[in-house]
Amino acid sequence: MSLATDLRLAFPAPHPAGRPFIAGGLAVLVLGLLLAAWLPFAGWWLARLGLIFTLFCLFFFRDPNRVPPPRPGAIVAPADGRIVSVSMAVPPAELGLDAAPRWRVCIFLSVLNVHVNRVPISRTVTKIAYRPGAFVSASLDKASEDNERNALALRLADGRDMAVIQIAGLIARRILCGAREGQQVTGGDRFGIIRFGSRTDLYLPHGIQPIVCLGQTMVGGETLIAELTT
């Protein structure tokens, strides 16, 4: 493995959503350095703040490449983070799916996790529905019902549906989704990002049981959550 490859793995490029924040931090850094010539104390403090903010944004918006497992029917984690709930639940009403409970896996993303969301399986996006809401801590179970969210429904080849829900957290104020209704998506591909702490819920198709457990750490686009059965 080359040095360039090692560096890309250790310091992945930031997601495009982070570029305005990184640019703003760099601007504050430069302004502080220029100001230091006339007001050394204020200028250096401003430069330090700009540097710290820039480094934080480079870390938070990091967007590493991921390699999904080459297994037919593999359903992978839609996000990095820790599983805070594995239970039976009804998908959000705005997706128009049936009201029968199905397995739901909830992943909490702390500010230290990669926040890029990934497609759990190669299928067709049938519906995308945004719903405004509250901003309670994403680690709480009620966040699935109360918080601002963006929901995607995926249709499987056999007609069954599954759903991925992007949920804002306590300090998250922007959910970004690049998927479109009718789009054919590939498992492991990026489809969005949630800024500054969040949660991602995965509703499995009927008849599919998760093979993960409470407290387990997920790697988005790689960790196997379940497998389709015929």
- The angle at the Cα of 189, spanning 187 to 190, to the nearest 5 degrees, equals 140
Residue in 85, 139, 144, 198 annotated catalytic:
198
Could you say which DSSP state residue 147 is in?
B
Please give the single-letter amino acid code of residue 163.
A
| Cα distance between residue 41 and residue 99, in whole Å | 61
CA 105 to chain centre: 14
Name the nearest CA neighbour of 154 among 175, 129, 174: 129
- As a whole number of angstroms, the longest Cα–Cα distance in the chain is 72
Name the residue ranges covered by the structural domains of the chain.
3-60, 74-227
Please give the single-letter amino acid code of residue 225.
I
137 tagged catalytic: no
Per-residue pLDDT tens listing for the chain (230 residues):
565 554 565 567 889 988 999 999 999 999 999 998 888 888 899 999 999 999 999 998 999 999 999 888 899 999 999 999 999 999 999 999 998 999 999 999 988 899 999 999 998 999 999 988 766 666 667 767 777 889 999 999 888 999 999 988 766 557 888 899 999 999 999 999 987 768 899 999 999 999 999 999 999 999 999 998 76
CATH no. of 74-227:
2.70.70
Give pTM, 2 decimals.
Answer: 0.88
